[in-house]
Amino acid sequence: MKQALLLAIGMLISPLISIAHADTYSFGVVPQFSSERISKTWEPILDLLEKETGYQFELYGSLDIPAFERHFSKGHFDFAYMNPYHAIVAHEEEGYEPIIRDVGRNLYGILVTRKDSSIKSMQELDGKKVAFPAPNALGASLMPRAEFSQQHKIAVDEVYVSSHSSVYLNVVLGLAAAGGGVQKTLSQQPAKIQSQLKIISKTQEVPAHPISAHQRVPEKVKQAVANAFIHLAGTPYGAKLLNKIPMKVAGNTSIKEYDVLRSMGLDEFYIK
């Protein structure tokens, strides 16, 4: 595997990496963090995956979450780590199938404010500026936006700042009254950021981010990748690397596990 994160813009020229090299597969990752952090997290994992499976993997980054969505909507990734609602959209549009996820936990969104803020509930954010990473970030944006509208009947001033880390920074700096995120990204922030934030709301829980495979990927390759993740999670070094995703208990999954999202009325808030 190349030791650098390749910009997804290259995929506009050569969308199907696996065509050029039969045993090389492209791997996309939803950009919750900076490209540097994604590279440091995923390149060692893909190196182990290559040793376990005998296949080659190229890590492809996206400039932001909307760019990531455009790429999987065109089938640019052979494999992709994506949020649960992305899994539904990718399955419907390009036949992606979730194959592995952290089965030891569920995903839920959070809303945070500065610790010294007087705001204690979602209702108090009516008309106020709220930072989100991108419109379709599930726990950090899609679910909270649906709750503002459907449950609380209020409107907030939505500001999109590209990443979870930027959301938390905007709140700390007072550029937004609150911000949407997920527990795992908040817990991975520097202590000086975490110490200045408080959680005022949590969303419904849903199955965690899956790794999905495009329908063109041979079944034996999908199975090899799924088996490799499960095996790596059971080794000390592999578990240490997967914990950075985080994926603490790797297990098989399928699109059926994500059907709960279809009944949540999120489609009217999903922006294409």
- Percent residues over pLDDT 90 in the chain: 82
Residues 114-128, mean pLDDT to the nearest whole number? 97
| Six-digit token string for 235 | 């080794």
pLDDT the model gives residue 204: 92
pTM of the predicted protein model: 0.81
CATH class of 6-104+208-263: alpha beta
Residues 241-267, mean pLDDT to the nearest whole number? 94
Residue 85's nearest CA partner among 219, 182, 216, 8 is 182
Residue 242's nearest CA partner among 139, 100, 78 is 100
Residue 221's nearest CA partner among 55, 42, 2 is 55
Instruction: Please say if the pLDDT value at position 83 is more than 60.
Output: yes
| Six-digit token string for 26 | 């492209």
What gap in Å lies between CA 135 and CA 159, rounded to an integer?
9
Question: How does DSSP assign 152-200, residue by residue?
Answer: S----EEEE-SSHHHHHHHHHTTSSSEEEEEHHHHHTS-HHHHTTEEEE
- Percent residues over pLDDT 70 in the chain: 92
Positions of CATH 3.40.190.10 in the chain: 6-104+208-263, 109-203
* Helix residue ranges per DSSP H, the chain: 17-20, 35-53, 65-73, 84-94, 143-150, 164-172, 183-187, 191-194, 219-233, 236-242
Instruction: Please say if the pLDDT value at position 8 is more than 90.
Output: no
Q: Which range (14-28, 116-130, 185-199) has the least confidence?
A: 14-28
Enter the DSSP assignment of 140.
Answer: I
Taking all residues of the chain, what is their mean pLDDT, rounded to a whole number?
Answer: 91
What gap in Å lies between CA 43 and CA 50, rounded to an integer?
11
Superfamily for 109-203? Answer: Periplasmic binding protein-like II (3.40.190.10)
Residues 215-224, mean pLDDT to the nearest whole number? 98
pLDDT in tens, 140-178: 999 999 999 999 999 999 999 989 999 999 999 999 999
Instruction: Please say if the pLDDT value at position 17 is more than 80.
Output: no
pLDDT the model gives residue 16: 41
**Other Cβ atoms closer than 10 A to 71:** 22
pLDDT the model gives residue 22: 63
Instruction: Please say if the pLDDT value at position 206 is more than 70.
Output: yes
pLDDT band at 20 (very low <50, low <70, confident <90, very high): very low
- Half-sphere exposure in the Cβ direction for 94 (13 Å, CA): 23
pLDDT band at 108 (very low <50, low <70, confident <90, very high): very high
pLDDT band at 1 (very low <50, low <70, confident <90, very high): low
Residues 51-71, mean pLDDT to the nearest whole number? 94
